[in-house]
Amino acid sequence: MENIRTRFAPSPTGSLHIGGARTALFAWAFARRYGGKFVLRIEDTDIERSTQASVDAILDSMRWLGLDYDEGPYYQSARIVRYREVIQRLLDKGKAYYCYASKSELEALRETQRAKGLKPRYDGRWRDSKAAPPADVDPVVRFKNPLAGEVVFDDLIKGRIAVDNQELDDLIIARADGTPTYNFCVVVDDYDMNITHVIRGDDHVNNTPRQINILTALGASIPRYAHVPMILGGDGERLSKRHGAVSVMQYRDEGYLPQALLNYLARLGWAHGDAEIFSIAQFVDWFGLAAINNSPARFDPGKLLWVNQQHVRAMNDSELAELVAPLMEQDGIELAPQPVLSDVIALLKERSQTLQQLARSASWFYRAPQPVEEMRREYLTKDIKPSIMALREKLGTTEWNREAISKALKSVASEHDLKFPELAMPLRAIVAGQTQTPAIDATLHVLGKQSVLNRIDAQLQHFPA
Ligand code: GLU
Q: For the segment 297-313, what is each residue's pLDDT rounded down to a tens digit?
A: 999 999 999 999 999 99
pLDDT at 1: 62
Whether the predicted pLDDT of 465 surpasses 80: no
- The answer to whether the CB of 188 is under 6 A from ligand 1 is no
6 CA to middle of ligand 1, Å?
13
- The answer to whether the CB of 200 is under 6 A from ligand 1 is yes
Q: What percent of the chain has pLDDT over 70?
A: 100
Summarize the confidence of residues 89-96 as an average pLDDT. 97
16 class by beta-carbon count within 10 Å (0-12 exposed, 13-18 middle, 19+ buried): buried
pLDDT at 245: 76
120 CA to middle of ligand 1, Å?
25
- The answer to whether the CB of 9 is under 6 A from ligand 1 is yes
Residue 23 alpha carbon, nearest atom of ligand 1: 8
Question: 238 with 212: CB under 8 angstroms?
Answer: no
278 CA to middle of ligand 1, Å?
28
Mean of the per-residue pLDDT values of the chain: 95
Pocket test for ligand 1, best of 43, 51, 184, 239 (most atoms within 8 A of CB): 43
Binned at pLDDT 50, 70 and 90, residue 60 comes out as very high
Would you kindly state where each structural domain of the chain is located, as residue ranges? 315-365, 373-460
Distance between CA atoms of 446 and 294, rounded to whole angstroms? 51
Residue 8 alpha carbon, nearest atom of ligand 1: 8
Summarize the confidence of residues 101-108 as an average pLDDT. 92
Residue 182 alpha carbon, nearest atom of ligand 1: 1
How does 389-419 read in b/e, with b if 16+ C-beta sit within 10 Å? Answer: ebbbebbeebeeeeeebbebbeebbeebebe
Q: How far is CA 321 from CA 253, 269, 344, 346, 363, in A?
A: 16, 33, 9, 9, 12
Summarize the confidence of residues 108-125 as an average pLDDT. 93
- The answer to whether the CB of 186 is under 6 A from ligand 1 is yes
> Pick from 79, 80, 101, 99: which is nearest to 91 by CA?
99
Structure confidence by residue, pLDDT tens digits, 7-47 = 999 999 999 999 999 999 999 999 999 999 999 999 999 88
Lowest-confidence segment of 231-245, 259-273, 350-364 by average pLDDT: 231-245
pLDDT at 372: 86
9 CA to middle of ligand 1, Å?
5
Structure confidence by residue, pLDDT tens digits, 403-461 = 999 999 999 999 999 999 999 999 999 999 999 999 999 999 999 999 999 999 999 99
CATH number among 1.10.3470, 1.10.8, 1.25.10, 3.40.50, domain 315-365: 1.10.8
The amino acid at 44: D
The fold adopted by the segment(s) 373-460 is Arc Repressor Mutant, subunit A (1.10.10)
Structure confidence by residue, pLDDT tens digits, 140-173 = 999 999 999 999 999 999 999 999 999 999 999 9
Binned at pLDDT 50, 70 and 90, residue 199 comes out as very high
Structure confidence by residue, pLDDT tens digits, 317-331 = 999 999 999 999 999
- The answer to whether the CB of 317 is under 6 A from ligand 1 is no
- The answer to whether the CB of 189 is under 6 A from ligand 1 is no
Residue 190 alpha carbon, nearest atom of ligand 1: 9
The CA R_g of the chain, rounded to the nearest whole Å, is: 32
Whether the predicted pLDDT of 239 surpasses 70: yes
pLDDT at 349: 94
> Pick from 288, 284, 238, 227: which is nearest to 259 by CA?
284
Distance between CA atoms of 343 and 345, rounded to whole angstroms? 5
How does 334-372 read in b/e, with b if 16+ C-beta sit within 10 Å? Answer: ebeeebbbbbbbbbbbeebbbbbbbbbbbbbbbeebebe
Summarize the confidence of residues 48-72 as an average pLDDT. 97
Other beta carbons within 10 angstroms of residue 202's beta carbon come to 18
Whether the predicted pLDDT of 234 surpasses 90: no
pLDDT at 81: 97
195 CA to middle of ligand 1, Å?
14
Give the bridge partners for 308, in sequence order: none
* 3-state SS class at 236: coil
Whole-prediction pTM: 0.92
168 CA to middle of ligand 1, Å?
20
